[in-house]
A and B are shown apart, each in its own frame.
Chain A
Amino acid sequence: MTGVRVYITGMGLVTSAGCGVSRARDVIRNRGKRIRPLSLFPVSPDNRLPVGEVDGFIETGGIPRTHQLALTAAREAMARCKEVPDAVVMGVTTGGMLTTEQCLKTGDGDPDAFKYHSPSSVTEYVALELGCHGPVITLSTACSSSAAAITIALEMLRAGRAGTVLAGGADSLCRLTYHGFRALQLIDPQGARPFDKNREGMSVAEGAAVLVLTASESVPDNAIAEILGAGLTCDAYHPSAPHPDGAGALQAMQAALQDAHISLQEIDYISLHGTGTVDNDRSEAKALNALFPDKKPLMSSVKGAFGHSLGAAGAMEAIVSALAVSEGLVPANVGCDLPDPELKLEPLMTPLETANIQTVLSNSFGFGGNNASVVIGSPRRGHPPRSIPVKEASHLVVLGSACLTGAGDADMSLRTVSGGKSCRGRVPDPVLSQGVSPREVRRLRRLPRLVLALASAVQAHSQLPDAPGSIFFGTGWGALSETYDFLTNLFESGEHFPSPIDFVGSVHNAPAGQAAIRFGSMGPNITATGGDASFEQALMLAGLMAKDRDGTLLVIGGDESHGSLSRLFDRSVGSDAAPSDGGGCLCLRRSKSAPGLKTAVMFYETSANNPSVVSSLTAGLGDGERVREKYGAVFAGIPAACRKRGEEQLREFLSISRFDGPVIDYRRFTGEFASASAVAAVLAIRCMDGRELPGGFYGGKKVHLKDKGILLVGLGDIVTAIEVIR
């Protein structure tokens, strides 16, 4: 038992009010509204809608706007913190999209121009600037992204994986989200009016919000607030619309209260998701009325004041919640003049400056039905010391596995590689559409189809009657077909006619949301992105979040090959003549007693400015002797773009560990795509099932594994290790 609790010890914020927590505080005090017509990029006069835009931040030195916003907030949060954080966890939905759009518009074909495209590049940029080697984790669960980031950070700190974590989110305005929400008719032409009778939608905004979270057994001197608990759920209902009764939202709030060990009556204030859309506000209101049938706490949404900053919103509202408990400042529900009687809520109409707020519930709900609630309390609320059971090792039992490659399914892929051949190439189209009706997948392009095919295959392989409770998805680049088609149609129509279907499909978490709908998986539904280590991130998050009671969970890694974008975004793809794609999926369960192979992420660090990364890797695995004893083979993932450095890292690892067993350079037969490691993990599991590496894996020589495991190392920009053991 341990008494570790998690405190907010630093905060940084960039909003449409400007840079700094103090600017936002002033706007809240004065009941200000920082929403005005878009000026960041040109739009036709009839399409010019009010947004929450940040002044300044001209792109310089090729650093995109989101990255600048994120670093500004991170520096403010770190201002009084001397130590480098142990990990950075950020929620980001569109990353360098504003810059990418400009480059695609002008036909820039230089992959260098897109090096900050990915949402994960925001987190990696912040981590590099602060000198943090990681873990560096990026969550992309739409509008709940940074609330999910806080939840993950909380679990990392509780589990003792880190002492200090920088957690937050960032997103700049871009054409994709602006025109996407416009196409969905979800932008209020008068600016967001959350919970108002006449509300017509949200105001898209930008910003960044970052918290320093510190694990401690006693209240630190610089504690601003305490993160008491969090809950993540999925509606498993619709790709973009919330559940009409707010079922998933209610469960997220209940899960957060349970995790925080507090009762309903203890909640003094609720920071509402309250976007201002007709349906969102209605389903949140239904969930709140179900949770609080009698007296309700104070409540308000700040989205009428600052707009909805998407990936940043959850962390921004965690800061608003922290101000409520630390300063007694409770925001008014700006924008709402006539509360909608149908909603049966009484949002706060004027700000309170000296309220006695001990505990706050902060809600964030997003596309894909991804719901997150976080409970934030005063560090001095006099709660008895908290006992949290120490989590067992993060190993999860493997109940099933499936992969898709250019050769086909897992059996075909294993047979092909065993025969000494390569399973490179794109997953054949008929394989992607196997077992689904054309009607069911009519709106889905390549990546969501891949994910559904993987999830169905793993369910068949594991032969389990129950649907998975939660889903963890890692993707390097997300839904490229939907993103490309959305932007191409937008540009070709003079930015007049964006496609709502493509917008909804373009968000990184759309494929995992589809899988949740397919199986009715209402537990945590998390999409992580981190280039070549995206699958590793998903597996690490599953290890952190999985609880005994949750039943089975799926960990999926997948990426699609796209004719135009893959080459621009993924520098490893550019050098590969024949494009490849695919992915892998594991069905897992946390269990001490279930028989079967076990897997866990053992190491995750970035290699930039980190000369000792390989010795840290060996140390992270125990030492050389343990490596030699434990593993019968090493599967090495060396992305083509970092081949030279990756090979050097591999040589160094083999030299330090003195591992002399077979080393399989798996990208030689999987081809180049970000989640190739998911395929490698599945092949490793299948080899271990047979207790041998078939000849084709290792120069024609069959290798007996006996009782030993397989170590999968990822090399290059990010150095990772996954083990599969008995």
Chain B
Amino acid sequence: MEEAVNLLISELKIKIIDTLHFEDVRPDDIVEDHQLVGGELGIDSIDVLELVMMIDKDYGIKIDNKELGEKVFANLTSLARFIYENSRSVGN
């Protein structure tokens, strides 16, 4: 499981950079356990919704309430774990 989650983390870093148009961020700049929303990257509520749409599209998982969203988007590890636990098509 840890290996799959780590793979997901690497994949999500690239997707986040791409989805949120970070021209000046490299995958290594996103630290797994750092606060994802409101942290050093400046990710805000609109960005979270953009990521929600990406996760629905790429992993077939809906995140449609605020309480769940706050838990899932705490950091990159929690996001990867959530996707791993809810997806049957990891890595697609």
Q: How far is the CA of A504 from the CA of B53 in the complex (A)?
A: 14
| Majority DSSP secondary structure for residues of A touching B | loop
Interface residues of B in 34-92 (CB under 8 A from A): 42, 44-47, 49-50, 52-53, 56-57, 64, 66
For the A-B complex, the count of residue pairs with Cβ-Cβ distances under 8 Å equals: 46
Question: Which of A439, A496, A497 sits near B24, CB closer than 8 Å?
Answer: A439
The answer to whether A504 and B46 touch (CB under 8 A), given A185-B64, A497-B57, is yes
Is there an interface contact between A500 and B53, defined as CB atoms closer than 8 Å?
A: yes
Minimal Cβ-Cβ distance residue in B for A240: B46
Q: How far is the CA of A78 from the CA of B77 in the complex (A)?
A: 62
Is there an interface contact between B53 and A497, defined as CB atoms closer than 8 Å?
A: yes
Minimal Cβ-Cβ distance residue in B for A498: B53
Number of interface residues of A (CB under 8 A): 21
Q: How far is the CA of A438 from the CA of B57 in the complex (A)?
A: 27
Chain A residues with CB below 8 A from B7, complex form: none
The answer to whether A499 and B57 touch (CB under 8 A), given A438-B23, A439-B22, A442-B23, is no
The answer to whether A501 and B50 touch (CB under 8 A), given A438-B23, A438-B24, A442-B23, is yes
Q: Does B4 reach chain A (CB closer than 8 Å)? A: no
Q: How far is the CA of A442 from the CA of B17 in the complex (A)?
A: 10
Is there an interface contact between A496 and B23, defined as CB atoms closer than 8 Å?
A: no
Interface residues of A in 366-420 (CB under 8 A from B): none
Q: How far is the CA of A504 from the CA of B56 in the complex (A)?
A: 20
Is there an interface contact between B49 and A442, defined as CB atoms closer than 8 Å?
A: no
Q: How far is the CA of A500 from the CA of B66 in the complex (A)?
A: 16
Minimal Cβ-Cβ distance residue in A for B44: A238
The answer to whether A443 and B49 touch (CB under 8 A), given A185-B64, A493-B57, A496-B57, is no
The answer to whether A500 and B42 touch (CB under 8 A), given A438-B24, A442-B21, A443-B21, is no
Beta-carbon contacts of A222-250 to B below 8 Å, as 1s and 0s? Answer: 00000000000000001111000000000
Q: Does A183 reach chain B (CB closer than 8 Å)? A: yes
Minimal Cβ-Cβ distance residue in B for A241: B45
Chain B residues with CB below 8 A from A499, complex form: 50, 53
Q: Which of A278, A443, A496, A500 has the most CB of B within 10 A?
A: A500
Beta-carbon contacts of B7-41 to A below 8 Å, as 1s and 0s? Answer: 00000000000001111100000000000000000
A107 to chain B, nearest CB (A): 24
Beta-carbon contacts of A471-501 to B below 8 Å, as 1s and 0s? Answer: 0000000000000000000000100111111
Is there an interface contact between B49 and A183, defined as CB atoms closer than 8 Å?
A: yes
Q: How far is the CA of A278 from the CA of B45 in the complex (A)?
A: 13
Q: Which of B45, B47, B52, B64 has the most CB of A within 10 A?
A: B45
Is there an interface contact between A442 and B56, defined as CB atoms closer than 8 Å?
A: no
Q: How far is the CA of A496 from the CA of B50 in the complex (A)?
A: 13
Chain A residues with CB below 8 A from B50, complex form: 499-501
Is there an interface contact between B23 and A500, defined as CB atoms closer than 8 Å?
A: no
Q: How far is the CA of A19 from the CA of B23 in the complex (A)?
A: 50
Q: Does A60 reach chain B (CB closer than 8 Å)? A: no
The answer to whether A501 and B57 touch (CB under 8 A), given A442-B21, A442-B22, A443-B21, is no
A640 to chain B, nearest CB (A): 34
Q: How far is the CA of A241 from the CA of B49 in the complex (A)?
A: 13
Q: Does A265 reach chain B (CB closer than 8 Å)? A: no
A303 to chain B, nearest CB (A): 21
Chain A residues with CB below 8 A from B20, complex form: 442-443, 501
Chain A residues with CB below 8 A from B44, complex form: 238
Q: How far is the CA of A278 from the CA of B66 in the complex (A)?
A: 11
Q: How far is the CA of A238 from the CA of B57 in the complex (A)?
A: 27
Q: Does A593 reach chain B (CB closer than 8 Å)? A: no
Interface residues of A in 498-553 (CB under 8 A from B): 498-501, 504
Q: Does A654 reach chain B (CB closer than 8 Å)? A: no
Is there an interface contact between A497 and B56, defined as CB atoms closer than 8 Å?
A: yes
Chain A residues with CB below 8 A from B52, complex form: 185
Chain B residues with CB below 8 A from A241, complex form: 45-46
Q: How far is the CA of A500 from the CA of B57 in the complex (A)?
A: 14
Minimal Cβ-Cβ distance residue in A for B56: A497
The answer to whether A501 and B56 touch (CB under 8 A), given A442-B22, A443-B21, is no
Chain A residues with CB below 8 A from B45, complex form: 241
A550 to chain B, nearest CB (A): 30
Minimal Cβ-Cβ distance residue in B for A444: B21
Beta-carbon contacts of A178-217 to B below 8 Å, as 1s and 0s? Answer: 0000011100000000000000000000000000000000
Q: Does A437 reach chain B (CB closer than 8 Å)? A: yes
Q: How far is the CA of A257 from the CA of B92 in the complex (A)?
A: 58
B65 to chain A, nearest CB (A): 8
A161 to chain B, nearest CB (A): 39
Q: How far is the CA of A240 from the CA of B50 in the complex (A)?
A: 14
A452 to chain B, nearest CB (A): 16
B75 to chain A, nearest CB (A): 20
Question: Which of B21, B22, B49, B64 sits near A500, CB closer than 8 Å?
Answer: B49
25 intermolecular pairs with C-beta atoms under 8 Å apart = A183-B49, A183-B53, A184-B49, A185-B49, A185-B52, A185-B64, A240-B46, A278-B66, A437-B24, A438-B22, A438-B24, A442-B20, A442-B21, A442-B22, A443-B21, A497-B53, A498-B53, A499-B53, A500-B46, A500-B49, A500-B50, A500-B53, A501-B20, A501-B47, A504-B46
Residues of chain A whose beta carbon lies under 8 Å from any beta carbon of chain B? 183-185, 238-241, 278, 437-439, 442-443, 493, 496-501, 504
The 7 tightest CB contacts between A and B, nearest first, are: A500-B49, A438-B23, A442-B21, A438-B24, A497-B57, A501-B50, A497-B53
Given A278-B66, A493-B57, 15 other A-B residues pairs in contact with their CB atoms under 8 A: A183-B49, A184-B49, A185-B49, A238-B44, A239-B46, A438-B23, A439-B24, A442-B23, A443-B46, A443-B47, A497-B57, A498-B53, A500-B46, A500-B53, A501-B20
Residues of chain B whose beta carbon lies under 8 Å from any beta carbon of chain A? 20-24, 42, 44-47, 49-50, 52-53, 56-57, 64, 66
